[in-house]
């Protein structure tokens, strides 16, 4: 078996975390390709090394605090090196970084040093060869990721290399300049490496024991999802569940490689498997609940709307003209409602109303703000009777008024609109009825 294992910033924040990671790698010889992030926060209020690097690079171009900021970063690494009892010196590396920063080498180079240095330390500590991501992860000159080139570089380089540490988050362009993915992009590197070498599994180690059924800020200690499909995860992430970088799914999904989310602080936990498809049933009918506050509804009424061909298209045209994306469009015979993000809509509200009057001549336009949307997601809902019934009776018992209901034809999710102030109560009520009561 071949496993690609990515460790997030909190898993490598200090020497003690490095030691846990070493234990995890050593406990399974299949864990052969290691993708480290930069050191993350050690405690609440701490600063991630990547943020320190961005800040330091900004200073290199201006204020005199540059040297101090660089020393603070060096100290972070030195603490790790000393804590691990290693004898390597980072002096030359930091001298080169200092010169490059001062010469204005570029912000992506600056940010990438966090992963680069952590990778160097990890390679020495684990006695595993280091491969600079700049040599194997390729971007085109316009900054887009070059999958074909990367695949062939990685395959060529790793074919005789059965173990390697490859830092996450960055690669290089054809001209050699360093380019990073967007923030959190080490997840993407792991996925790309897993795809290139056709790994059996891509393990993504973090500080939680997997994807949770719902937000732990709303429900205390929610259950962890055992297995989730890519499609389910997409629905949940879109509605606010934060698990992986969005772009990390695509490379492994193309190859049908499962992702296993694991907890560095609790390696005994099985974590969550993210898979293309599965016949495994979720123990709770639903797989997860996610949601977001801050939506507006624009309710358009016009008698005989039902016989006016092109009405819906014209309504949506108004939103398109203003560059506003819509979330849902529940409709009745003479009503058509559009749900949009409040933040996107508010400043263009009057232009939208004017546009609607011009294009569709409504009888009434009513708007409502401070609405929340909740997505109840689950592949198991498809063939199960009564799911919607349970959701709505739970909400009724919790005194939550439902403002909108939308079930996709895939039966993979049910979207419920409630008022912002009912959001948490509604999520808890749905969680309780499916997970705690298991009715």
Residue numbers at the binding site for ligand ASP (CB under 6 A): 9, 37-38, 48, 50, 114, 168-169, 183-187
What's the closest the beta carbon of residue 54 comes to ligand ASP, in angstroms? 9
Of 50 and 227, CB closest to ligand ASP: 50
CB 154 within 8 A of CB 192: yes
Helices 107-126 and 49-60 sit at what angle, rounded to 10 degrees? 140
- For residues 115 and 215, which CB has a smaller minimum distance to ligand ASP in the complex? 115
Helix 49-60 vs helix 66-83: crossing angle, to nearest 10: 150
Q: Encoding tokens for residue 428?
A: 């808890």
- What is the spatial distance between Cα 338 and Cα 320, in angstroms, rounded to a whole number? 12
Q: Minimum CB separation from ligand ASP for residue 5, in Å?
A: 14
Measured from the CB atom, is 48 or 379 closer to ligand ASP? 48
Distance in Å, CB of 55 to ligand ASP, minimum? 13
Q: Helices 311-321 and 349-360 meet at what angle, rounded to 10? A: 150
CB distance 405 to 330 below 8 Å = yes
Chain residue at closest Cβ approach to ligand ASP: 186
**Minimum distance from CB of 192 to ligand ASP (Å)?**
13
Q: Which residue has the tokens 């109840």?
A: 376
Q: How far is the CB of 110 from ligand ASP (least distance, A)?
A: 12
Give ∠ CA 331-332-333 in degrees, rounded to 5: 130
Q: How far apart are CB 200 and ligand ASP at their closest, in Å?
A: 23
- The SS3 assignment for 330 reads coil
Q: How far apart are CA 103 and CA 260, in angstroms?
A: 41
Alpha helices by DSSP H, listed for 365-422, are 387-397
Q: Which is nearer to ligand ASP, 37 or 209 (CB)?
A: 37
Minimal distance, residue 90 CB to ligand ASP, in Å: 18
Nearer to ligand ASP, 116 or 336 (CB): 116
Q: What is the DSSP string of 205-230?
A: EESSSS-BSS-TTTSSSPPBPSEEEH
Closer residue to ligand ASP (CB): 168 or 288: 168
Closest to ligand ASP by CB, 168 vs 258, is 168
């Amino acid at each position: 078996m071949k496993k690609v294992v990515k460790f997030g910033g909190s898993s490598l924040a200090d020497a003690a975390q490095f030691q846990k990671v070493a234990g995890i790698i050593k406990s399974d010889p299949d864990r052969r390709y290691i993708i480290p992030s930069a050191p993350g926060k050690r405690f609440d209020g701490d600063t991630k090394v990547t943020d320190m690097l961005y800040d330091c690079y900004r200073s290199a171009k201006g204020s005199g605090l540059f040297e101090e900021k660089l020393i603070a970063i060096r100290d972070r690494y030195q603490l790790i090196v000393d804590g691990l009892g290693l004898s390597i010196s980072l002096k030359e590396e930091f001298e080169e970084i200092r010169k490059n920063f001062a010469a204005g080498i570029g912000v992506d180079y600056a940010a990438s040093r966090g992963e680069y240095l952590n990778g160097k330390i990890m390679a020495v500590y684990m006695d595993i060869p280091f491969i600079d991501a700049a040599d194997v992860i390729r971007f085109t000159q316009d900054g887009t990721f070059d999958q074909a080139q990367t695949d062939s570089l990685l395959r060529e380089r790793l074919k005789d290399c059965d173990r390697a540490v490859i830092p996450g988050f960055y690669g290089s362009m054809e001209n050699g300049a360093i380019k990073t993915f967007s923030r959190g992009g080490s997840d993407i590197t792991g996925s790309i490496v897993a795809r290139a070498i056709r790994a059996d599994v891509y393990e993504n180690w973090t500080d939680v024991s997997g994807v949770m059924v719902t937000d732990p800020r709303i429900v205390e200690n929610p259950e962890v999802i055992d297995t989730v499909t890519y499609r389910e995860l997409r629905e949940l992430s879109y509605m606010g569940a934060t698990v992986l970088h969005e772009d990390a799914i695509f490379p492994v999904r193309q190859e049908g490689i499962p992702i296993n989310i694991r907890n560095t602080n609790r390696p005994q936990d099985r974590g969550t498997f993210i898979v293309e498809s599965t016949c495994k049933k979720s123990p709770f009918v639903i797989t997860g609940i996610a949601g977001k506050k801050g939506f507006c509804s624009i309710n358009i009424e016009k008698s005989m709307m039902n016989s006016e061909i092109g009405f819906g298209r014209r309504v949506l045209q108004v939103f398109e003209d203003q560059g506003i994306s819509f979330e849902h469009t529940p409709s009745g015979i003479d009503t058509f409602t559009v749900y949009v993000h409040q933040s996107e809509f508010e400043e263009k509200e009057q232009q939208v109303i004017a546009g609607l009057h011009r294009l569709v001549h409504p009888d009434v336009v009513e708007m409502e703000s401070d609405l929340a949307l909740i997505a109840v997601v689950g592949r198991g809902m498809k063939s199960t009777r009564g799911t919607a019934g349970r959701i709505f009776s739970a909400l009724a018992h919790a005194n939550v008024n439902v403002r909108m209901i939308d079930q996709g034809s895939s039966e993979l999710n049910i979207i419920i609109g409630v008022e912002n102030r009912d959001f948490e109560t509604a999520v808890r009520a749905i969680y309780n009825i499916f997970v705690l009561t298991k009715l």
